[in-house]
Amino acid sequence: MTNQMASLPLPPLTNKPRTSRLSRWRRHGVSYLFVLPYFLVMLAFGLGPGLYALLLSFADFSTGLPKYFGAGFSNYLAVFKEFRFTFTFANIGKFLAISVPLGIAMVIILAILLQMRPGRLTTALRTLYFISGAVTGPILVLVVIFMLDPSISPFQALLKGMGFKLTNDVIYPGSLPIIFTLMGFFAGAGMWIAIQYGALEAISTEVLEAATMDGCNAWQKVLHIKLPLIRPYIIYQFILIFAGNVQLFVEPQILGGGNNLGVGGNVPTVWSPNQLAYNFAFEMGNFGATSALSLILLVIGLGAAYLIIRWTGFFKIED
Amino acid sequence: MSQIDTLRPDKRPTLLQRWGRFWVRTVGDTGILGFGLRWGVLLLFAAYFFIPMLWLVLATSKSAPQLLELPPLAFGSFQRIQEAWQRIIEYQNGEVLQWAFNSIRYTAFGLALSLACCIPAGYILAIARFPGRRLLLWLTLITMLLPPSALVLPMFMELNLVHLINTPWSVILPAAFFPFGTYLTYIYYASSLPRDLLDAARVDGCSEVKLFRHIALPLATPLLGLLAFINFNTNWNNFFGPYVFLNDDRLFNLPVGLQQFVAATSALRPGFNPSPGVMVGYQQAEIAVFGLLMIVPVAIVFLIAQRYVVGGAFTGSIKG
């Protein structure tokens, strides 16, 4: 193309930008056609809601209809002044402090123990762990209520041994972070075990054989070879679990929701920040405060996302 | 005994030899303490994951008094399963079946739309260079690490603005945005599609669209399996979105329906005095049947999809 151009007389200077823009458009037109549907849904359901929430967080809802830019920072102030703000963030903080390190440690331990000496039984166990991920959302909450009811639970010997007689002895405000951790681990661990198992399988056998030759036993190989090599996946899991757990909503909403769950009185109706955001909108009609609080949570999630990409730099973008 | 003798296959190994082989196979270099510890932990967690599922299946067969009297992992009767199923079917004139139909509808449409958007996009991001490509990749990365629940309330405001609240579209359309799918597709084609193949086809006069349809798509079967699994799972279990966007109970999907069912009936606490307005006569077995209705399709998909997850398509997306 450039060679041909060289043999032709130079086009007038004024035409040059137009033709090159046109040809570039022609060259990239098909590419844009391919990404267009994705780009549109990204605008509508990825970037759009975020930007619209930003707009609404500065809007005044006191008349019921949004008055854009009418509120200044008062919605943010309302969120910070809300008496349940510290309560919900303290709750989620406790939940994160328990669920994130414990969840990751147990997933890694189980993946390593399974993959150490693979056989038919370990494959069956991995499938068993994995399949429990099918029990999630509302049904998981209900199953856990049953599991924690000393009168019908298959773990009743354990519960009674610990001195619990009623569901309310087991499910009370102080135990909620642990209960949500148990729920999250039940539904999510299997998937992560499978992912980490895949990562462990990808470690080159040559390295491991060399270690065996040098007299490493199985546990030394785990500590000095496997763990350091799967470090990136552990960080990846950390960030995704952190960003996901900050948004906790379904479990406390169902557990604290109905009067006839038998645990309603013991579980606050608003326990997590996301529930508080929901509550601002649908109980108090203050969509501005909902937007402000959602954005705060969004920024926490985005911060985690940004950290994972920049700080570890392990997502591939090729040129 | 000569060397040849011990190698002869028809000579049965001695008991000691068999023990030795068993030992090496099972214990290997973990040590006897390590062996016990390893299996102790693995089986303990097997109980943690398995017993609740087993209990749920058995609970379908027991009446409320039987749940209290029989051992927790005992079987009740087939008649009770049938009764529970009947009550679920008859609840609000078959509303549960409507919810199941909605779940299928939302999941299928969401799956189709999201794949239609993310596969062409991921493909072209991998093979072509055009202005705006890096920006799009960055936005994909950031939105992909964002949990979907972070956007539910802002999305409610947006859908409310365009009057889509309380329509099936409020659940289906947001599901079309699947940045993780785009990213996995991008990685898949960037690392496994030979550029020469495409160039050769182009020289032969193949258009870009034909290239995608006849060369790229047929190569993507394992990728499609993984994407379909993740997307199916997310859509089928979607609770927060439908819970916020829908208020007509005929439009609910199964998860939101289950929540509504438990709140409206005595099923969870059959023995207690219910609050006014609560429908009585429902028992825990009904919840278990309802739950299995939700879980079994996912469990089947999980069984099929496990190999894609372990197969390393996930881990391929991260620099090891």
CB atoms within 10 A of CB B42: 19
- Inter-chain touch B149–A274, beta carbons under 8 Å: yes
> For residue B195, what pLDDT is reported?
81
> For residue B91, what pLDDT is reported?
92
> For residue B245, what pLDDT is reported?
95
> For residue A263, what pLDDT is reported?
60
Kindly tell me if the per-residue pLDDT of A228 is higher than 60: yes
> For residue B282, what pLDDT is reported?
86
A205-209, A287-291, A315-319, B69-73: range with lowest mean pLDDT:
A315-319
To the nearest whole Å, the CA of B14 is away from the closest chain A CA by: 24
Kindly tell me if the per-residue pLDDT of A16 is higher than 50: no
Round the average pLDDT of chain B to a whole number and report it: 86
> For residue B244, what pLDDT is reported?
92
CA–CA distance, B170 with B94 (Å, rounded to integer) = 24
Place B318 in a pLDDT band, splitting at 50, 70 and 90: low
Per CB-CB distance under 8 Å, the chain A contacts of B275 are: 259-260
Question: What is the average per-residue pLDDT within A8-36?
Answer: 66
Length in residues, chain B: 320
Give the pLDDT confidence of B219-245 residue by residue, as tens digits.
Answer: 888 788 888 888 998 899 999 899 999
- Inter-chain touch A202–B306, beta carbons under 8 Å: no
Kindly identify which residue of chain A lies nearest to residue B137, measuring between CA atoms: A317
> For residue B306, what pLDDT is reported?
81
> For residue B316, what pLDDT is reported?
60
**Percent of chain B residues topping a pLDDT of 70:** 90
Which is higher by pLDDT, B90 or A23?
B90
pTM of full prediction above 0.90: no
**ipTM score of the complex?**
0.84
- Inter-chain touch A37–B121, beta carbons under 8 Å: yes
> For residue A315, what pLDDT is reported?
61
On the 0-12 / 13-18 / 19+ scale of CB atoms within 10 A, B9 is exposed
Per CB-CB distance under 8 Å, the chain B contacts of A32 are: 130
Give the CA distances from residue B315 to residues A201, A231, B124, B125, B188, in Å, rounded to whole numbers and listed in that order: 10, 12, 22, 20, 11
Per CB-CB distance under 8 Å, the chain A contacts of B270 are: none
> With contact defined as beta carbons under 8 Å apart, do A193 and A107 qualify?
yes
- Inter-chain touch B190–A56, beta carbons under 8 Å: no
Per CB-CB distance under 8 Å, the chain A contacts of B113 are: 41
Which is higher by pLDDT, B137 or B148?
B137
Which one of A25, A28, A31 would you mutate to disrupt binding with B, by most B Cβ within 10 Å of its Cβ? A31
Among B116, B136, B315, whose Cβ lies nearest the Cβ of A195? B315
Among B25, B49, B117, whose Cβ lies nearest the Cβ of A128? B49
Per CB-CB distance under 8 Å, the chain A contacts of B147 are: 243-244, 246-247, 301
Among B113, B154, B311, whose Cβ lies nearest the Cβ of A49? B154
- Inter-chain touch A318–B190, beta carbons under 8 Å: yes
Place A15 in a pLDDT band, splitting at 50, 70 and 90: very low
DSSP letter at B280 equals P
Give the pLDDT confidence of B266-309 residue by residue, as tens digits.
Answer: 888 776 666 777 787 788 899 999 999 999 998 998 888 887 77
Q: Which two tokens stand for residue A18?
A: 């137009």
Compute, in degrees rounded to 10, the torsion defined by CA atoms A61, B153, B116, B146.
120
On the 0-12 / 13-18 / 19+ scale of CB atoms within 10 A, A143 is buried
Kindly tell me if the per-residue pLDDT of A116 is higher than 50: yes
